[in-house]
């Protein structure tokens, strides 16, 4: 059974004159990492809100079509129950941080307290996650005094701590440096290995190419394409959706236009290196430095 | 005329050192990217450049004159700063008011105010949102409101803190057009960014910071070519530049077209 099943789903926010989602048909299978890509305002965050059930339970508006999570129609879910079974990281950490907790430790524990987890287990899990995310130095700080990047890590850690079977993550690295972004992605990959199903909105396409199993391409509220990452990254739908490709993919496409294609189109640097290396060995006069 | 930092140091009242003595000069019309890990001291450094923070020791001059005696509002006329998080910068209840704040504060005459606001709105691509409350706008558009509010002024230096974060391809193109326009006007652009593709394609000079100090200052090619700097500042070279190095091609190739040009033809 699909984890989430959307059939011809549309949603229009109350007071909006146009739908934010149109004719969305999508099956999310368990155990995979789905990347959602698209321009700003293409409906990515609204799709996330449907997937975690805050549409229609908290955002007023008109939902059409059929949407079910774990086989139960979205409208039949108890909102509290649903929020406990789907973890969610907000795009803007300034929105997610509760503002009511005085330390990072308590902030991360908040979700587990709401799940009525045993206090001893809360301490153990929060400490474990704090180390995994690498924020022990922030543990006793006030969340309101953290930098944007630090808050983003705390918001992410809070969701990791909840250990949900299904997490929806909206731009977790927008304010992080490259090293920390990679770390967040490797933690997400670790969640997937433990069987967590993940939907991830992210602009960093190189990381998506490396980690996502499938990509969902959105434009103007519609899903233009859904498919294996490798196929989607060379699809014209990315141009229509105004989404950047990995630079190495662009490079291969530029070689194709030069009438000089590679045997296949790489989506990661490692693949590009493998495909280009034989060509350089055959061309001893190439601009080598060593 | 340049901005000059001389052994500028900043410590918070509790003694925590944020910037431990930085020295550099940024001249007219330069395009400079300041890079390094979160916490390296980048934002504190640029905040000292526009008077938002006063150095604990050392000095900052703008156009040859020390700015320590000037108010932040006065320095901001010369040196505009676009915040990383637009919510930290924007406080107007509509976009029009946000853009008019600076002209009204400095009591510009109406003709000049109207013209500068119109032009800034056009450049920032926010003309359709002028009557709306910035809080109701999506994050990416709010970022352009924050940029527009700085473009209204007649700053000769514009500092952009993480301008590409959260922008899509359209947003990046718009930002590129704004930066091209500023270049044509001879305005100095300084950015803080983690986006190395943006650095390689758009900026001429890179200042790398680590542990509250400047550890390298040079052309984009020079800085990315240094393994020790990349390691210490935790930089990630643009994918295309790293690929060129992996293949043993010119280590100074950092831009897409440069790398493409270095690739030999296949046998087919």
**Residues A225-266: tens digit of each pLDDT:** 999 999 999 999 999 999 999 999 999 999 999 999 999 999
Per CB-CB distance under 8 Å, the chain B contacts of A171 are 166
Q: Which of A107, A100, A101 is nearest to A162 (CA)?
A: A107
Burial class (CB in 10 A: 0-12, 13-18, 19+), B215: middle
A233 touches A266 (CB < 8 A): no
CB contact under 8 A, A40 and B141: yes
Looking at the complex, report in whole angstroms how far the Cα of residue A239 sits from the nearest Cα belonging to chain B: 10
> Count of A–B CB contacts within 8 Å?
130
As separate numbers, helices (DSSP H) first and strands (DSSP E) second, chain A gives 13, 10
The overall average pLDDT reported for chain B is 93
* CB–CB contact B169 A273 (8 Å): no
* A170, pLDDT greater than 90: no
Distance of alpha carbon A259 from the chain centroid: 36
Structure tokens at A172: 């977790």
Tens-digit pLDDT profile for residues B129-155: 999 999 888 888 999 999 999 999 999
pLDDT of residue B205: 97
Share of chain B above pLDDT 90, in %: 81
B132 contacts chain A (CB < 8 A): no
CB nearest to A286's CB, from B171, B238, B264: B264
The reply to whether ipTM tops 0.85 is no
Q: Tell me the residue length of chain B.
A: 268
More confident call, A85 vs B187: B187
With CA atoms as reference, the chain A residue closest to B235 would be A178
CA distance B45 to B67: 14
Confidence of residue A91 (pLDDT cuts 50, 70, 90): low
A42 pLDDT higher than 70: yes
- Yes or no: say if A188 and A212 are a contact pair by the CB < 8 Å rule: no
For residue A188 the two structure tokens come to 């997400």
In chain B, the domains with their CATH numbers are 1-78+156-164+186-236 (3.40.50.300), 86-154 (no CATH), 242-268 (no CATH)
- A chain contacts of residue B141, beta-carbon cutoff 8 Å: 40
Higher pLDDT, B159 or A83: B159
- Is the pLDDT at B1 greater than 80? The verdict is no
A54: pLDDT strictly greater than 90: no
Chain B residue with minimum CA distance to A170: B166
Phi, psi of A113, rounded to the nearest 5 degrees: -60, -40
DSSP label at A120? H
Chain A CB contacts of B166 under 8 Å are 40, 91, 171, 174, 203
- How distant is the Cα of B137 from the closest Cα of chain A, in angstroms? 10
- Taking only the tens place, the pLDDT of each residue in B67-90 is 998 998 899 999 999 998 898 899
What's the pLDDT score for residue B268? Answer: 54
pTM comes to 0.86
- pLDDT-based confidence at residue A88 (cuts at 50, 70, 90): low
Nearest residue, CB atoms, A179 vs list B85, B234, B263: B234
Q: Which of B172, B234, B262 sits opposite A287 (nearest CB)?
A: B262
**Across the interface, which of B138, B162, B248 has its CB nearest the CB of A175?**
B162
Which pair of tokens denotes residue A235? 């699809």
Res B111 pLDDT > 90: yes
Distances (CA, A) of B37 to A63, A107, B19, B232: 43, 25, 13, 9
Question: Is pLDDT of A92 > 70?
Answer: no
pLDDT tens by residue, B23-75? 999 999 999 999 998 889 999 999 999 999 999 999 999 999 999 989 988 99
Q: Show residues of chain B in contact with A250, CB under 8 Å.
A: 256
The pLDDT value recorded for residue A285 is 59
What pLDDT, on a 0 to 100 scale, did the predictor assign at position A80? 76
Q: Which of A39, A244, A290 sits opposite B248 (nearest CB)?
A: A290
- Cα distances (Å, whole numbers) of residue A98 to A110, A115, A138: 9, 16, 16
Model confidence pLDDT, tens digit, residues A208-217: 999 999 999 9
Chain A residues within an 8 Å CB radius of B238 = 247
DSSP B232-265: HTT----HHHHHHHHTTB-TT--SHHHHHHHSPP
How large is the greatest C-alpha to C-alpha distance in chain A, in angstroms?
Answer: 68
Chain A, nearest residue to B266 by Cα: A279
Instruction: Identify the pLDDT of residue A96.
Output: 58
The pLDDT of residue A233 is 97
Q: How confident is the model at residue A290 (pLDDT cuts 50, 70, 90)?
A: very low
Q: Residues of chain A with pLDDT > 70: what percent?
A: 93
- The pLDDT score that the predictor gives to residue A178 is 85
Are A166 and A88 spatial neighbours (Cβ–Cβ below 8 Å)? no
The b/e string for B71-95 (b: 16+ C-beta within 10 A; e otherwise) is eeeebbbbbbbbbbbbbebbebeeb
Q: Which of A85-89, A112-116, B200-204, B213-217 has the lowest average pLDDT?
A: A85-89
**pLDDT attached to residue A128:** 94
Q: How far is A207 from chain B (nearest CA, A)?
A: 11
């Amino acid at each position: 059974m699909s984890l989430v099943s959307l059939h011809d789903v549309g949603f229009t926010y109350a007071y909006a004159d146009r739908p934010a989602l149109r004719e969305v048909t999508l099956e999310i299978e368990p155990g995979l990492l789905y990347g959602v890509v698209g321009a700003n305002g293409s409906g990515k965050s609204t799709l996330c809100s449907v997937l975690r059930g805050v549409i229609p339970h908290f955002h007023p508006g008109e939902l059409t079509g059929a949407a079910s999570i774990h086989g139960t129609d979205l409208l039949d879910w108890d909102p509290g129950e649903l929020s406990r079974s789907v973890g969610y990281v907000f795009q803007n950490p300034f929105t997610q941080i509760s503002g009511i907790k005085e330390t990072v430790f308590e902030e991360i524990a908040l979700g587990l307290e709401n799940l009525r987890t045993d206090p001893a287990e809360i301490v153990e899990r929060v400490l474990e996650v704090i180390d995994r995310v690498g924020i022990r130095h922030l543990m006793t700080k006030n969340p309101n005094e953290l930098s944007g990047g630090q808050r983003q890590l705390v918001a992410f850690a809070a969701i990791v701590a909840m250990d949900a079977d299904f997490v929806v993550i909206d731009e977790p690295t927008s304010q992080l440096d490259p090293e920390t972004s990679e770390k967040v992605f490797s933690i997400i990959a670790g969640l997937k290995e433990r069987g967590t199903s993940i939907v991830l909105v992210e602009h960093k396409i190189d990381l998506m190419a490396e980690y996502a199993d499938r990509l969902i391409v959105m434009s103007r509220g519609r899903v233009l394409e859904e498919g294996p990452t490798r196929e989607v990254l060379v699809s014209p739908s990315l141009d229509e959706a105004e989404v950047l490709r990995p630079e190495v993919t662009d490079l291969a496409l530029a070689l194709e236009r030069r009438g000089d294609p590679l045997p296949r189109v790489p989506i990661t640097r490692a693949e590009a290196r493998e495909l280009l290396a034989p060509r350089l060995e055959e061309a001893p006069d190439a601009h080598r430095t060593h | 005329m340049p901005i000059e930092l001389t052994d500028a140091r900043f410590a918070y009242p509790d003694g925590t050192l944020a910037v431990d003595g930085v020295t550099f000069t940024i001249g007219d019309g330069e395009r400079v990217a300041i890079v390094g890990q979160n916490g390296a001291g980048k934002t504190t450094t640029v905040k000292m450049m526009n008077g938002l923070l006063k150095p604990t020791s050392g000095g900052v001059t703008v156009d040859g004159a020390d700015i320590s005696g000037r108010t932040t509002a006065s320095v901001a006329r010369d040196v505009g700063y676009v915040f990383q998080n637009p919510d930290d910068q924007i406080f107007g209840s509509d976009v029009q008011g946000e853009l008019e704040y600076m002209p009204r504060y400095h009591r510009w005459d109406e003709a000049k105010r109207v013209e500068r606001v119109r032009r800034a709105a056009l450049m920032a691509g926010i003309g359709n949102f002028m009557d709306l409350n910035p809080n109701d706008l999506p994050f990416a558009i709010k970022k352009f409101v924050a940029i527009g509010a700085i473009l209204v002024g007649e700053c000769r230096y514009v500092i952009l803190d993480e301008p590409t974060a959260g922008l899509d391809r359209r947003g990046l193109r718009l930002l590129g057009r704004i930066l091209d326009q500023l270049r044509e006007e001879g305005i100095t652009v300084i950015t803080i960014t983690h986006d190395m593709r943006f650095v390689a394609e758009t900026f001429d000079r890179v200042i790398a910071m680590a542990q509250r100090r400047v550890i390298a200052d040079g052309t984009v090619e020079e800085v990315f070519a240094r393994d020790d700097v990349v390691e210490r500042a935790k930089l990630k070279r643009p994918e295309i530049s790293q690929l060129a190095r992996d293949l043993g091609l010119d280590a100074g190739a950092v831009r897409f077209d440069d790398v493409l040009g270095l690739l030999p033809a296949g046998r087919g």
